[in-house]
Structures are given as C-alpha cells and as structure tokens.
Chains A and B, each alone.
Chain A
C-alpha cells in the first residue's frame, strides 16, 4: 500500500483508539483527580459494561440498533449503580486511604471478574453494530461504525466538559477536588460527591465499552489492557485536565498507529511506549498538568 493511504488508515485507527480511550480515561481521571484513589477495578467496570451490553442486546429482537441503543442507555446506568454501592460499602469505610483502596479495588477486580466468568462465561461474544456499512475507499475498506464511534465519543466529551464547567454539580466536584476540607466546611456532602464521582467514572468506562463492543467483543478479561492505557493517558495528559486527557489519548492513539507503519509490530509497540514514557520523564507534571502543590 502506498504511503498516503497507509498513513490515512493508521491515523483513522489511531483516532478510534483515542476516542474510546479518552472516554475511559476521563472516568479514571475524575476518580483519580477528585478522590485521589488509584482505582485498579476501573478496567473491570469497562468489562462489565461490555458484558452487560451483550446481555441487553440479546434481550430484544428486531433491528440490531434497538438492542445497541438499549445497551448504550442501560449498561452504563447499571455499572454506575454497582460502582456506587461498592463505593458506599467499601471505599468510604476505608476513608479513601490511598494504599488501602488499592487493595480494596484489587479485591473488587477479582470479584467482578469471577462473577463475569461464572454468569457470562469465558467466551468472547460480539454485539451486532447498530448499522453495518463498509466505506469502500479506493485503497481499503473501512467500517463506518468506527467513524461513528469517534463522533459519539466527541459528543460525550463535550457533554462531560459542560457538566464539569457549567453546572452546579461540576462546581461541587471541582471544589471537592481542589480542597476536600474546605469543601466540607462549606457544607458540600463530600461523601456523596465521592460516591457520585466514582459512579460517574465507572459509567463513562461502561459507555466506552458499549461503543467498542461491536468492534471488538465482550470477554471477561478485556479490562486489563485498557486499564493500563487509560492510566497512562490520565497521567500523560496531566492530572485533572480534561483537555490534557483528550490530547494524550490522541497522542497515544496516533503514535501507536503511525509508529507501527515503520517497524515490526512488537518493536513499534516498544518504541511507542518508550517514547510516551520519555514525555513523562522530561515533563513529570504531564502535558497540561500544573506542578504539584
């Protein structure tokens, strides 16, 4: 394939990765930023979102879009509810002690994984895309659904940005993130805010999962790699910076895609990872982060 079309393909692929990644990372960034909690179970919420999407989509017959839309609405809600309960039952009792919460979320990871394995099974199962259209370019074919994922993800990001910066909920969240004690002193119910943030973060991961599941498929171990990538995105972007998260996701998606044009795949992956690590080595606060207080 000629360089031009190849470059186009690599960029498209990078953007799809970035779209899904930034949604998932946004959820992690909220939890990480507001609650200062390293949520190792974030990948499992993503997996749960995908598994539930499969389940919801099998509940209804008819056009695949019906099942998909049902999943897109319900799956994040269920996942958010589960996260809310987990936060109230466990994390709040640990008083958000950073180290204890790592252990607790690892425990949560095991529990969710086992439940998925027991009730959903070890197989990979796909969900039918709401529409199946293959765009035939002169050089290669490309899934129209993938482009739709990019679009939808942008919409979700804008919505989240709006909530965070233009609404009272967002204000409360930002205040809690900035200074927990003062927020409490001003009558903000910090505990409830935390539970809400945790649920919202999990819900965003589930949205990302529902979007990805027609491209990939639901599998009980699928949360692993996206978890690592979204941690990387959050920190490279700069903790607490929505803009940074998006830019970092695009950077990682594109560099992954484009570097793979020039080297054998594994070597490309190594070089891309190393390059991104070096960004952090020379800019420890991340791309858009401020120097830690």
Chain B
C-alpha cells in the first residue's frame, strides 16, 4: 500500500518516476514528518474524476434521468469495492440539454474547468457527434453509451470509444435472421427521416436480403410529425412484417395509431424498444401490442431464468420486476440502454487498472488499454451479457434480446449471438495519432 502511495505522488509532481522513487524512499526514511505523510495520503485518495455528460433537459431527459441513476449505482459499487487503483471514483455531472452545441461546450468545461480525467455517458448521437471534435482537440477520452454507428464509422477520432453498448448496425443486422425465420420475409420499414432511421434502413435492408427476405416499402417519417395514421396506407398489403423504430415524444402516438389502423388483422410487428423506453407497456392504447416483438438491449422485465448478477444489478440500480423504479412504480426505466452506463464504467475501471492510470498524462495509455480489450465475460461487471470489443473500430459487439409482449409484459423469446451482429471493421482508429 505504501508503495502505491509513493507511485501516485510521483505522477502528481511530474518528475520522472525512477528518480522520485529513490528520492522519496530517502525522504521517507530520513524525515518522516507528519505533514509529509498526510500529503502522501491526500494524494493517494485523490479521486478519479469522471465527467458525466447527462441529458438532464431536452428531448433525452427521460433517458438522462436513468443514465444518471445507473451511473450513480455503478460508481457506488466500484467505490465500495475499493475504487480504481485504490482511488475513489467521483462523478461530475453537467447537463448538455441534449444539444450538440452545448455538448461540445460541456466537454470543454469538463476538460478545462473541472479538469476531469475523462468524459463519459452520452446517449443521443447528435450530441456525441457534436462533442467529438472538442474531445479530440482537448485529447480527453470520451466514452459514449449511445448505440449510434458514429464511433464505428471511423469518422470521429481516437479519443472516442463505445465499449459498453452495441451499435445500431450490429443491432439491426442481428435481428434479420430471426425476423426472416419467425415473422416473415416481406418487410416494410417505418423509421424517422434522419440519420438514426437511415442507419436502420441501410443496415437492416442488406441483412434481411441475405436471409432471402425483402424490404417491400420504406416509410420515412419527418421528426416534426405528431400524428402518423395518414402514412400507414403507404404500407403495402403484401407486407408480412412492419419493422418500426421511432424516437421522441410522439412515439406512443405512433404505436397506438398503428394499432387503431390495423386492428388485429394487420402484419406482424417488430419494433425497437427505443419507441417505448420509459413508457409503461400497460399504458392505455397499447393493448394491441400484445403478441408483437421488440428488440431489447437488456430485458426490462425480470426474467424467470435470470442470473444472480442480473438480479444484483437490478437491485443496485433500483428497478423492480417490471423495470420501474422501486420508489415509484409509474417511473419506468430505460432498461434496454442504461446497462451501458454500468458496463462502461466497469470498462473504464479495467482500462485504468490495466495501464496503471495515474493522471491526465496517461490518457493516451488508457485509450490504448481499452483498445487492447477483446472478450468480456458476462457477470457482475457485464450483466447484459458477454461482449467482444474491437480495438480498431472502438466499438463493442454483444448479444441482443428479442422479446414478445405477453400479458402486457416483455418476455425474452430469443437471444442473438455476437456473431449475428458482428461485421468487418470499417475503420482503424489505432492507426490514427493521438
């Protein structure tokens, strides 16, 4: 332990490790002044500070609230177990308003004013992309929990990583085999007419074609829209499956109007739970969803066969068996995404320990340590399931859940493999300079 302390003092003073180590040993032996020792202790317990870019206001607020709760729970667990390299973890929160401009400002604030070790926790893709240039210029690691394809596309920079949640490309691809086998081969896509929706369209289409299926129509919906019924006639009658993914406050309307329009006679429905995150499946108007299927990153409802570490995770985060807050049953969580915060913090811990992180000088080493990661086993650190990280694309791959609405609850009916979603790397960040 005392060795440890000395090492940490070094990095703080900025003098080369070896010389100070010698000097320190001598100093400690010769003048064991109480003040000096206290200084050493203060250094050793100096917290590792993580800037959490949180969607407290704006369109992402429902997610932000749960990302914050998950982060707090994960940080508490890490601290209870002795922190990172013996140092406690401190989370510094700034609201980005779910806005890309403010996001960049917040990254600057974290780096230059709060002087945190790294920035973490962003969900909405436009905030990630808007903040990425600032992170690259300030050379501060930026661990996002966003499920966007931005990191893996190679268009960001070496400081941006997404190790705790899979990206939309892998998610959309891994759904195709199961949909083709179980629901149907003629698919109509309904998606928001911007990047997130286009990603679903562009990645799902070839995947379903590879299964012998076919996209028979595409219905892109402008994000300013608040009612949807008028677009449903564009769904051809030959459609066997409607693949829908909508985000924003109007999503509930969308699902509801779809039910009114088709009744029980329509095509099968397959949706991304993004539409209904933080929304009670038993809400009035959603009855018709009974029997339809959803993608879930991690199951919202407690499953009968879930592992002990999943139960422990759910308890720590504070969600009941219905995936709502244990404090307020009406406060439904964003369970399919927020596990990413938990896992990312554990990966940050692992990376910092692997590179023996001392301070901001080790930021590049920390990124390299993250890039060196590969397989991560399911367990208390990775309750969603096992993962495989690709150091080149800075993107993690993992298993996905497909759940069916049964009695107003989501029941997992299938779990995809890592291979279902994996794709060849399209970028190599390790070839870029820091």
State the A residues within 8 Å of B (CB): 1, 5-6, 9-10, 13-14, 16-17, 64, 114, 117, 121-129, 132, 134, 136, 140-143, 214-217, 219-222, 225-226, 257, 260-261, 264-266, 269
Nearest CB of B to A138, in Å = 12
Whole-angstrom distance between the alpha carbons of A136 and B260 in the complex?
Answer: 9
Asked if A10 contacts B230 (CB within 8 A), the reply is: yes
Nearest CB of B to A74, in Å = 20
Known: A221-B249, A265-B193, A269-B222. 9 other contacts (CB 8 A): A6-B233, A13-B229, A123-B331, A124-B62, A129-B284, A140-B261, A216-B250, A265-B222, A265-B231
CB within 8 A of B233: which of A128, A140, A225, A266? A140
For residue B251, CB closer than 8 A to chain A, the reply is yes
Contacts of A266 in B (CB 8 A): 193, 220-222
Whole-angstrom distance between the alpha carbons of A142 and B229 in the complex?
Answer: 9
Whole-angstrom distance between the alpha carbons of A219 and B226 in the complex?
Answer: 12
Nearest CB of B to A133, in Å = 10
Q: A269 and B230 in contact (CB under 8 A), knowing A126-B285, A141-B263, A216-B253?
A: no
Q: A143 and B225 in contact (CB under 8 A), knowing A1-B233, A122-B65?
A: no
CB within 8 A of A216: which of B61, B221, B226, B232? B226
Contacts of B193 in A (CB 8 A): 264-266
Residue on B nearest A270 in the bound complex, by CB: B222
Nearest CB of B to A63, in Å = 12
Q: A124 and B252 in contact (CB under 8 A), knowing A140-B261, A257-B230, A265-B193?
A: yes
Q: A225 and B284 in contact (CB under 8 A), knowing A123-B279, A123-B332, A265-B231?
A: no
Whole-angstrom distance between the alpha carbons of A219 and B249 in the complex?
Answer: 6
Asked if A126 contacts B284 (CB within 8 A), the reply is: yes
Nearest CB of A to B172, in Å = 21
Question: What are 17 pairs between A and B in contact, CB < 8 Å?
Answer: A5-B233, A121-B331, A122-B64, A122-B65, A122-B278, A124-B251, A124-B279, A140-B232, A140-B233, A140-B261, A140-B262, A214-B284, A214-B285, A225-B226, A257-B230, A260-B230, A265-B193
For residue B303, CB closer than 8 A to chain A, the reply is no
Asked if B229 contacts A9 (CB within 8 A), the reply is: yes
Asked if B260 contacts A123 (CB within 8 A), the reply is: no
The 5 closest A-B pairs by CB, nearest first: A122-B61, A219-B249, A128-B284, A1-B233, A122-B62
For residue B224, CB closer than 8 A to chain A, the reply is yes
Whole-angstrom distance between the alpha carbons of A132 and B256 in the complex?
Answer: 12
Contacts of B225 in A (CB 8 A): 265, 269
Asked if B224 contacts A225 (CB within 8 A), the reply is: yes
For residue B57, CB closer than 8 A to chain A, the reply is yes
Whole-angstrom distance between the alpha carbons of A222 and B226 in the complex?
Answer: 9
Whole-angstrom distance between the alpha carbons of A120 and B331 in the complex?
Answer: 11
CB within 8 A of B231: which of A14, A129, A260? A260
Beta-carbon contacts of B238-260 to A below 8 Å, as 1s and 0s?
00000000000111110010001
Asked if A123 contacts B253 (CB within 8 A), the reply is: no
CB within 8 A of A13: which of B57, B59, B220, B230? B230
